[in-house]
Structure 1
């Protein structure tokens, strides 16, 4: 463990993050808002804090070890959320305390989309833009962006990339050099965001809303510039565009790269994880539409419109809303919540346990059933035509076990704060899966929850964003032994 290296990298990353305060300054200037001073102050504080941590160790030469990568990743997300909360803490309306400002910042950066703010329509444009931008930066991961730039400062990035990249298999690179891989991911991310914003604008959004909603759509975040979310526009065309970009943003970005390289749109459908992902969306969507129609909740067309949108939004862990699904009949609210546990694909901007892990668990359970019938036979777990090493299977079971165990612990902690069972279950599920919407007392927003509950849920958001082990490993005594 090299504290000087950790401070040097954290400082450099914080300097990089300070630049996130400049676009809101431009937006405030464009709309003649006094928040220019607020974001300028945030920029200066973040920049000089970063320089203060980086400059004393700028010429320190130490190899960055995997252990350092874990610690830097967790510390940076905490520090980033802390500094990201400064504008939210200093804005005049609404008057947020430190807990709420940190919660909102963590929610944005982890692309969870849980909010404590109401009356979004009355907020300054610069604040609204800043919230959306937080999600966009968090979507692909600020550290993945950083490893494309920090090599210029002599900082190796592979350890950071491996601890940041979502999914059970983290060592597949698109290009031979890690910096080129990070750049490729961000070019894809920026390109899809730009196309999404253009589509929203052509569908009737003004330019500001189109850019803001493209940020949270491609980031699978769910923040909106309106309390009614994307349902404020009441436009089936806009909802269709949102569905399309939520679906493709929930796919592995490496697949987008290889599909573009091969110029073969059918490349996606040969991937077993995408097959499972689309099957889950189609299956749950069909059940929801039929149930909404048969119970008379909506007419035929409305059942299709609201059912498909909410299923895609919740299953991909985006969290947009055009209808209050918590009021849907029979088992539908719980079905949607359970679907968010599988989430999106590995290597995407989505949350949840990831579809590939669900597929592997199902295949391993199927193998155990076959072994009961044929004890002496040898069965191999495969994804597509590729055999999955037993080590990967063990890691998946370990991840799911830890996921469930931590879920139970945090739910009990929320129950201890006085929340009811429905609220405790749904808020932990929502934050751990980086989803946003919840049931019970948090069905509208998280504002009324106790401060202790918000800190527990902030921890849950970080656990979900870093896929548990990156954070939990810091609590292991072995991690701190020399």
Structure 2
């Protein structure tokens, strides 16, 4: 383990992160909201901390390897989540406790969108901007995580892109090639954000709301500058634009890269994961709209707009709202919540277990059915025309098992704090899937939960964002042995 290299990178990350306090300061000056001081104090404190970590090791030139990469990745999310809480904790409006400030910061950077805040409409503009910005920066970090770290871990599904994607390398070193890949994907990320903001503005949002909501949409975060979320604008056009960009943000960003480089949309249609992802959204949307119309919940036009919006929002784990789906009739709240466990595509900013893994689990299940009928047959699981190695399938099942075990353990932890069953299981599901809104006591916000529950959910958000194994591997003795 190259601790000096890890400390060097961590110090640089902290110093760079301190500069993210500048935009909220500018916003505070523009809107004269009187909340510049918390960001100035946080910027100086975080920069000095990073400088103290960096100075003793800045001359070190150790090469970063895979194990170091895992430590850096976990520290990236944990340390920056703690740093991101500083201005929220120092701010007088809202006046948050330490655990609430950390919860809000973790939720933002992991793009979960679960909030402990109420009265969002009357918060200072600088605070509103900062919350949206946290999600956007977290989304950028997710792209790096997807192309640089997770394929090497071999946790099923994402390593299928190692031979094709322009980023993940095949040896055991983190090379400049990853930097080039991340830069190309960031260009796509920034371009989608800018286009989304322009369309929101064109559709009727003011510039502040348009930029803030584009941050949350492309990052699949779910924070809003209004308590009523996207429903505040009461605009079918804005909702339609949001649906399109949530859908795009839930697609593997490597696919966007290939489509841009080859100038062809056929790249998407040839990808089995994209096809399955689209099929899930279409099927669930049809069921949802049908139930809403059949039960007379809405008129047909409203049922289509709100039904499709909520399906895409929940299925991609964005968490925006135009209606309270928790009170929809029959199976719909449970159906939408279950779909969130699938989440977005691998390599997207979406949460959940990822579409590629669920697709492989389904194909493996179908293979086992065929083996019962034809016990001596040699049957391969394929994605498109390519056979999937059994090692990948084993990794997928391993990931699924650990994911569900951790869900159950954290569910029991929440129940032990005194929460009711619906609130507990939906809160864990919403946080580990980086979804945000839940059911029961967390349908609107998480502010009324007890402190132990909030700490458990902070861990759940990090666990889900780091794809479970990236975090849990640090707790294994084997990882630390030389």
Instruction: Evaluate the alpha carbon distance shift between residue 160 and residue 316 of structure 1 in structure 2; reply closer, same or farther with a 3 A threshold.
Output: closer
| Distance in 1 (alpha carbons) for counterparts of 2:46 and 2:142 | 15
Instruction: Evaluate the alpha carbon distance shift between residue 24 and residue 202 of structure 1 in structure 2; reply closer, same or farther with a 3 A threshold.
Output: same
Match of 2:218 in 1: 218
Match of 1:286 in 2: 286
Residues 58-112 of structure 1 show CA distances to partners (whole Å, capped at 9, x for unaligned) of: 1113222211111111122111000100111011122110000000000000000
Instruction: Evaluate the alpha carbon distance shift between residue 188 and residue 166 of structure 1 in structure 2; reply closer, same or farther with a 3 A threshold.
Output: farther
For the 8 Å contact 1:89–1:98, the answer to whether it is kept is yes
Instruction: Evaluate the alpha carbon distance shift between residue 331 and residue 143 of structure 1 in structure 2; reply closer, same or farther with a 3 A threshold.
Output: closer
Match of 1:114 in 2: 114
| Distance in 1 (alpha carbons) for counterparts of 2:290 and 2:296 | 10
From 168, 171, 192, the counterpart of 2:158:
168
For the 8 Å contact 1:28–1:35, the answer to whether it is kept is yes
| Distance in 2 (alpha carbons) for counterparts of 1:95 and 1:36 | 15
Instruction: Evaluate the alpha carbon distance shift between residue 158 and residue 352 of structure 1 in structure 2; reply closer, same or farther with a 3 A threshold.
Output: closer
* Worse-superposed segment, 71-80 or 168-177: 168-177
Q: What RMSD in Å do the two structures reach over aligned CA positions?
A: 1.9
Match of 1:130 in 2: 130
Residues 223-257 of structure 1 show CA distances to partners (whole Å, capped at 9, x for unaligned) of: 00000001000000000000000000000111111
Match of 1:20 in 2: 20
TM-score (ref. length: structure 2): 0.95
TM superposition outliers: structure 1 runs of 4+ over 4 Å: 157-167
Is it true that 1:187 corresponds to 2:187 in the alignment?
yes
| Distance in 2 (alpha carbons) for counterparts of 1:247 and 1:167 | 20
| Distance in 1 (alpha carbons) for counterparts of 2:154 and 2:189 | 16
Cα distance, 1:362 vs structure 2 = 0.4
Match of 2:36 in 1: 36
| Distance in 1 (alpha carbons) for counterparts of 2:309 and 2:155 | 28
| Distance in 1 (alpha carbons) for counterparts of 2:154 and 2:320 | 25
Match of 1:154 in 2: none
| Distance in 1 (alpha carbons) for counterparts of 2:178 and 2:155 | 12
Cα distance, 1:166 vs structure 2 = 10
Matches within 5 A, 1:433-448: 433-448=433-448
Instruction: Evaluate the alpha carbon distance shift between residue 143 and residue 343 of structure 1 in structure 2; reply closer, same or farther with a 3 A threshold.
Output: closer
3-state SS in 1 of match to 2:38: helix
Instruction: Evaluate the alpha carbon distance shift between residue 398 and residue 241 of structure 1 in structure 2; reply closer, same or farther with a 3 A threshold.
Output: same
For the 8 Å contact 1:114–1:435, the answer to whether it is kept is yes
Cα distance, 1:163 vs structure 2 = 6.4
Match of 2:102 in 1: 102
| Distance in 2 (alpha carbons) for counterparts of 1:179 and 1:89 | 33
Cα distance, 1:43 vs structure 2 = 1.0
| Number of residue pairs matched by the alignment | 472
Match of 1:82 in 2: 82
For the 8 Å contact 2:288–2:307, the answer to whether it is kept is yes
Cα distance, 1:26 vs structure 2 = 0.9
Match of 1:422 in 2: 422
Is it true that 1:324 corresponds to 2:316 in the alignment?
no
Cα distance, 1:142 vs structure 2 = 6.8
For the 8 Å contact 1:144–1:161, the answer to whether it is kept is no
Match of 2:387 in 1: 387
Match of 1:69 in 2: 69
Instruction: Evaluate the alpha carbon distance shift between residue 222 and residue 119 of structure 1 in structure 2; reply closer, same or farther with a 3 A threshold.
Output: same
Is it true that 1:297 corresponds to 2:292 in the alignment?
no
Match of 1:240 in 2: 240
TM-score (ref. length: structure 1): 0.95
| Distance in 2 (alpha carbons) for counterparts of 1:15 and 1:167 | 34
Match of 2:173 in 1: none
| Distance in 2 (alpha carbons) for counterparts of 1:160 and 1:255 | 17
3-state SS in 1 of match to 2:350: coil
Instruction: Evaluate the alpha carbon distance shift between residue 327 and residue 143 of structure 1 in structure 2; reply closer, same or farther with a 3 A threshold.
Output: closer
* Worse-superposed segment, 229-238 or 166-175: 166-175
| Distance in 2 (alpha carbons) for counterparts of 1:128 and 1:166 | 37
| Distance in 1 (alpha carbons) for counterparts of 2:259 and 2:132 | 28
For the 8 Å contact 1:69–1:160, the answer to whether it is kept is no
Is it true that 1:371 corresponds to 2:368 in the alignment?
no
